[in-house]
Amino acid sequence: MTESAPDDTAERLARLEQIVADLLAEAKQRGATAAEAAASSDAGLEASVRLGEVETVEHTRNNGLGITVYFGNRKGSASTSDLSPAAVRDTVAAACTIATHTQEDPCAGLAPPERMAECIPDLDLYHPWGISVEDAIALAIECEDAARDADPRIVNSEGATVSTHAGIHVYGNSHGFVGGYPSSRHGLSCAVVGQEGESMQRDYWWSSARSPADLDPAAEVGRRAGERTVARLGARRLSTRQVPVLFAPQLAAGLLRSLTSAISGASLYRRASFLLDRLGERLFPEFVRIHEEPHLPRGLGSAPFDGDGVATAAKDLVSAGVLRTYLLDAYSACRLGMETTGNAGGVRNLRVQMGPLDRAGMLAALGTGLFVTELMGHGTNPVTGDYSRGAAGFWVDDGQLQYPVEEITIAGNLKEMYAGLLAVGNDYDFPGSTQTGSWLIERMTIAGE
């Protein structure tokens, strides 16, 4: 998987920076007391195959710009996909018109000027992939073939996909800050269907990376999709019971997303969070540390500054089990009477400190209980923390996988689940901006037969 030759990235970055500067200048000329603007340009290729035949080939090319203007505490926003000078003028005019019709908001405005990113570190995020359509199709076929060949019980396929995207994003505001950087993201994925007797199951696997050189081999992605599918054949239901539950790493990442949503500024100032007023309190056992690393080289969530232009920085969300920070942008920080944490646009590259146990060790620690490998539905109440999801996975007895299970529901409360976290494994095995091993929760309710 080779990367493409050097391109005109520097020229395109300079052009977008000039467009942002033009937006800000036009806003000032129209009397705005402050303004912020963003411009982006990206292109991509996606090729999908199914049963060895080409399903779709899609080229994408997108441009976009947006402007937010402030007249005192009145705010107006507008956007367009046209990057021409006339579109710049029209978009700013539209934003200014909108601002005249909005109510005053004392928190409307820019982040403090002293919080702007003073330098843009090179985070090694840009690795364009000059793969041809023919080679992308061949790679997708290789991936699907490996999945179909993984086991004779693989009887059908939902297809395999190769994707590549690269682009540039620039943000600026009337504090004099203008910053931008290019980035890329590439992926491989495959999903297949298995059958044994009357039992049919489907599962998938994927790989994602900033650089094509960091993608897992296509055959490995396909093989894992096939193995995950056949492992689920012969699934049974369980009777209702309360047992320990082990969440596979990619599902443990979902429990983290519930945490970051609950401590985000928008949830907090709207009082729609089960973690209201918990800053500085213990949420997890003492061994738990959750860290944000926004400057991780090639990180899928890495960014030198946030959506407000504020410099990003590494920090602990949780250490020694205690909640150390909220996740705030400039607006929510103002609403809460606090300072921005540089998290406009979300959290970037979460890392959970992993323990000494591998997958076998975590299953042994589980003993007898449920190992969850798939969740369905969105049964989380953000206000109370009540948690109820459809689930599938494996029943475990004496630390050994016994048989697959399906058509069950697991339920609990996130506050109790976080407090009842017994161990975090070191079996991190999935691509993404969140890195965590499996989570062993002390007890949850399984609703089944």
Per-residue pLDDT of 176-195, as tens digits, reads 999 999 999 999 999 999 99
Rounded Cα gap, residues 327 and 391, in angstroms: 29
Tokens of 76: 């107006």
User: What is the per-residue pLDDT for 8?
Assistant: 85
SS3 170: strand
Is-contact 178 19, C-beta < 8 A?
no
Q: C-alpha distances in angstroms, 44 versus 14, 59, 145, 165, 432? A: 21, 6, 24, 4, 19
Strand partners, 37: 67, 172
Strands 154-173 vs 74-80: parallel, antiparallel or unpaired: unpaired
Residues 6+ positions from 277 with CB-CB distance below 8 Å:
none
Angle at 386 between CA 385 and CA 391, to 5 degrees: 120
Structure token digits, residue 138: 């061949």
Q: Angle, nearest 10°, between helix axes 133-148 and 218-231?
A: 30
Nearest to 325 by CA among 333, 336, 312, 315: 315
- Cβ proximity of 147 and 190 under 8 Å: yes
Backbone angles phi, psi at 85, to 5 degrees: -55, -35
- With tokens 């943000």, the residue in question is 171
Sign of the Cα pseudo-torsion (77, 83, 89, 94, in order): negative
Give strand pairing partners of 81. Answer: none
Handedness of CA 81, 86, 92, 97 (dihedral sign): negative
Which parts of the chain sit beneath pLDDT 70?
1-7
What distance in Å separates the CA atoms of residue 189 and residue 143, rounded to the nearest whole number?
8
Q: Is the Cβ–Cβ distance between 262 and 382 less than 8 Å?
A: yes
The torsion defined by the Cα of 302, 305, 310 and 313, in degrees rounded to 10, comes to 40
Owner of token pair 């048989």: 403
For residue 419, the SS3 value is helix
At 166 the three-state DSSP class reads strand
- Percent helix, strand and coil across the chain, each to the nearest 5: 25, 40, 35
User: What's the rounded Cα separation, in Å, for the pair 334 and 275?
Assistant: 19
- 3-class secondary-structure state, position 417: helix
Q: How far apart are CA 221 and CA 139, in angstroms?
A: 11
pLDDT for the residue 3: 44
Collapsing DSSP to helix, strand or coil, 374 comes out as strand
Per-residue pLDDT, 449: 77
According to the model, what pLDDT value does residue 7 have? 63
**Per-residue pLDDT tens for 17-74?**
999 999 999 999 999 999 999 999 999 999 999 999 999 999 999 999 999 999 999 9
Tokens of 290: 């959750």
Contact in structure between 208 and 183 (CB atoms under 8 Å): no
Q: Which residues of 140-164 are buried (b: 16+ CB within 10 A; e: fewer)?
A: bbbbbbbbbebbebbeebbbbbbbb
Please provide residue 196's backbone torsions phi and psi, each rounded to the nearest 5 degrees.
-145, 110
Query: Chain centroid to CA 122: how far?
Result: 21
Pick from 343, 355, 318, 321: nearest CA to 440: 355
Nearest to 235 by CA among 205, 199, 202: 199
Write down all domains in the chain, each with its CATH number in brackets: 9-231 (3.30.2290.10), 235-449 (no CATH)
**CA dist., res. 431 & res. 214, Å (int):** 10
Report the pLDDT value the prediction gives residue 170, as an integer from 0 to 100.
97
